[in-house]
Structure 1
Amino acid sequence: MSVDKLITRNFRNLHDLDINFHSKFNFFVGDNGSGKSSLLEALFYLGHGKSFRTSKTEALVCYKKSDFVVSIKNDNNCQLGLSRNVSTGETNIKIDGERHYRLSVLAKNIAIQIVTPESFKLFFGGPKERRRFIDLGMFHVEHDFSTLWKSFNRVLKQRNACIRLGNSSSNSSSMLTYWTDQFCELSKQVAQVRFEYTSAIIKELDVWLAMLLPDLKSRVTVQYLQGWPQKKELKEVLFDNIMREASYGYSLYGAHKFDVKFLLDKQSLETQLSRGQQKLFLLALTFAQAKLIAQVNRVKPILLIDDIGAELDINSRRALSSALEQLDCQVLITAIECEVLQPFFDRLAIIDNDHKYDSCIDSDKINPESNSTTKLENYKVFHVKHGEITAMYPDNSE
């Protein structure tokens, strides 16, 4: 799917928006603080029920306002909307006018993938960030995973409660045995589904690394860690660590401890790559997941890339431009200056209220060896200033 129209009310520093997107490429140019990231955040919030920038919902509403609205119409003419009152905490979700009560119902209708400066947490934020990345993809690709994961978490909570009880009751030992059996069985099921999905990600990742980091592709490996030693049964590991778990008060091994490690020459990838190379790897990984999601008929992903110019030199942006052409999804990209978008265009005239860029990316600046094949009819360009978003190409006045 793609987003045809976005409507926002009282969201961040954005003026009330009612804008139409292109089904392929959409570029947003503006200064820092103009509202570019807020635009991406609005779409992300609709798809995930949370922000990628803050955990404080009250930070998302305009100054002196108590509620905000984010709504889209997709290419199937389906209307998805969410409103949130930050004073009462009430959330109102509607799909084609019908009221819903779970945020997960929105995620079933819109799949948002994003790369931002915060995405580097995938390397530095610990296993939790990598688990979140993999599981978000699995939600869209493995339709039964959400139910399986909920069952696992329910059993995990019960087992942890029994561990904390210790020997305080006569039934605690038998209860711990019961929940441990359930825990081990569900851990194995979750681990198997994750292993299959991670294997698919790794295979697809090779394709995108060949485009974005061809010199490093053969040196990159991905290590899958299921959450307990590979050569041991989980029940055996738990039995050997009864005393340790009792001292900590929770389960130390199981599917909730899953991790993937990205290695270059068998060393942590983030310690070996430059910041720009790390960003290209994040993009390749995100593209791999987006491609898997696109293969599922239920929903196609929407890709958000914030501040495309940061960390990426012109050669990297040329490689990225070529790679994006291979993705079957809608793309929204932000940039501070139009010049950094040069590899994505052949020729572009941009006009805003203050300046006229007569072919700021003109034919004399285009590298003849560039692989960019983006056609003029395949994109829209918007200018973002003080929360206002104006279409620059094609010019709405035409």
Structure 2
Amino acid sequence: MSVVKLVTNNFRNLNDATIDFHSQLNFFVGDNGSGKSSLLEALFFLGHGKSFRTSKLDALACHEKTNFVVSVRDGNNRQLGLSRDITSGLTTIKIDGEFQNRLSVLAKNIAIQIVTPESFKLFFGGPRERRRFVDLGMFHVKHSFAQQWKNFNRVLKQRNACIRLNNNSSESNAMLAYWTDQFCQLSVEVASVREEYSLTLIDELDGWLTILLPNLKSRVTVQYLRGWPQKRELAEVLFTNQEREAKYGYSLYGAHKFDVKFLLDKQPLETQLSRGQQKLFLLALTFTQAKLIARVERVKPILLIDDIGAELDINSRKALSEALEILDCQVVITAISNDVLTPFFDRFNESNKSDIDYSENERTITKIEDYKVFHVKHGEISAMSPNDSDLKTETAIE
């Protein structure tokens, strides 16, 4: 799926905007604070029902506005929209004009992947961030996972409540035993499907590392940890840790504790790589997951990359432009200046040399078929020529 048109009203610092996207590659260029990240935030909000910049939804409204709206028309001509009323705190979800009750309905129709400066939390934010990343992919790739995870969390809450309330009476012990049995069964089921997905992720990652980090590919390993010690049954692990769980008041082992660790020469990857190399690895990992989602064909992902020039030198950006050529999804990229995007323009223009029209008065217009470029200034968004270093609206060359 791709976004054909985005409409925003009272969202962040964007002026009421209507943007016609290219189905493959879109660049948004402008100074810091111009509204580029707000544009990505609008798309992300529509796919996730939350922001990647703040946990406060009301902060997404323009200054002194009491509501905001974000909607898109996709490549299948479906209309998806979210609106928020600040006064009542009510969020309204619509698909093709029909009201919906759950944000998950939107997520089934639009899959948003994003790489921002905050994405480095995947390395430094602990297991929770890595679990969140993997489970996002599983939601789209493993169709049964959403219900499995819902069932597991329900049982996890019941078991944790029993741990906290257990007074060693026969009744409370029996209740804890019952929920422990359910907990172990569901943990094994969730861990099994997660491991299958993680192995597929690792296999696909190899190809993207070949493009983005070829010199390091052979030294990178990915370690999947299911949430309890290998070669031991979960029931046994829980039994031997009863006192510790009673002390802490919650389940210390199980599918909710799984992790995926990224290693370079058997050391934590983030301690061995430069910031630029870390970003390339994040991109490789995101491309990997986007490709797995696209294979399912229920919904193709939309990839958002904020501030492409940060941490990436020209050679890294050349490698990234090569990767984007073979990535089968819509991509939206922000940058501070056109100069940062030169490797992308050069690569894609090379394949479009034949796309030039010569009219009778010998004026020429270069037709870029594979991407669009937009200028963002003070919340205003306008189409522009990729060769226009002055960031002017696209015009014919005299």
Deviations 1:193-219, CA, capped at 9 Å, x for gaps: 000000000000000000000000000
What's 1:352 paired with? none
* Off by >4 Å, runs of 4+ in structure 1: 394-398
What's 1:336 paired with? 336
Q: How does 1:121-132 map to 2 (within 5 A)?
A: 121-132=121-132
Change (3 A) 1:102 1:396: farther
Change (3 A) 1:203 1:348: closer
1:263 aligns with 2:278: no
1:345, 1:376 within 8 Å by CA — same for their partners in 2?
Answer: no
What's 1:13 paired with? 13
Name the TM-score, length of structure 1 as normaliser.
0.92
What's 1:142 paired with? 142
1:234 aligns with 2:234: yes
Give distance in 2, aligned partners of 1:206 and 1:121. Answer: 22
Q: How does 1:282-361 map to 2 (within 5 A)?
A: 282-346=282-346
One-letter code of the match for 1:80? L
Change (3 A) 1:137 1:86: same
Deviations 1:156-211, CA, capped at 9 Å, x for gaps: 00000000002175421000000000000000000000000000000000000000
2:321, 2:347 within 8 Å by CA — same for their partners in 1?
Answer: no
Give distance in 2, aligned partners of 1:340 and 1:45. Answer: 27
Give distance in 1, aligned partners of 2:182 and 2:86. Answer: 39
Q: What is the DSSP-based 3-state SS (H/G/I as helix, E as strand, rest coil) of the residue aligned with 1:179? A: helix
The percent of aligned pairs where both chains have the same amino acid is 76
Give distance in 2, aligned partners of 1:261 and 1:13. Answer: 38
2:24, 2:331 within 8 Å by CA — same for their partners in 1?
Answer: yes
Deviations 1:362-391, CA, capped at 9 Å, x for gaps: xxxxxxxxxxxxx82111100001111011
1:390 aligns with 2:382: yes
Q: How does 1:55-134 map to 2 (within 5 A)?
A: 55-134=55-134
Give distance in 2, aligned partners of 1:84 and 1:136. Answer: 24
Q: What is the DSSP-based 3-state SS (H/G/I as helix, E as strand, rest coil) of the residue aligned with 2:189? A: helix
Name the TM-score, length of structure 2 as normaliser.
0.92
Give distance in 1, aligned partners of 2:89 and 2:247. Answer: 37
One-letter code of the match for 2:202? I
Give distance in 2, aligned partners of 1:255 and 1:157. Answer: 13
Q: CA deviation at 1:346?
A: 2.8
Q: CA deviation at 1:77?
A: 0.6
1:53 aligns with 2:53: yes
One-letter code of the match for 1:71? S
Q: What is the DSSP-based 3-state SS (H/G/I as helix, E as strand, rest coil) of the residue aligned with 1:171? A: helix
1:220, 1:262 within 8 Å by CA — same for their partners in 2?
Answer: yes
One-letter code of the match for 2:327? L
2:9, 2:70 within 8 Å by CA — same for their partners in 1?
Answer: yes
What's 2:27 paired with? 27
Give distance in 1, aligned partners of 2:329 and 2:379. Answer: 26
Deviations 1:222-266, CA, capped at 9 Å, x for gaps: 000000001100000000000000000000000000000000000
Q: How does 1:93-242 map to 2 (within 5 A)?
A: 93-167=93-167, 170-242=170-242
Give distance in 2, aligned partners of 1:89 and 1:192. Answer: 39
Give distance in 2, aligned partners of 1:30 and 1:224. Answer: 40
1:302, 1:329 within 8 Å by CA — same for their partners in 2?
Answer: yes
Q: CA deviation at 1:59?
A: 1.0
Q: CA deviation at 1:130?
A: 0.1
What's 1:274 paired with? 274
Unaligned runs of 5+ in 1: 350-374
Give distance in 2, aligned partners of 1:31 and 1:91. Answer: 31
Change (3 A) 1:291 1:80: same
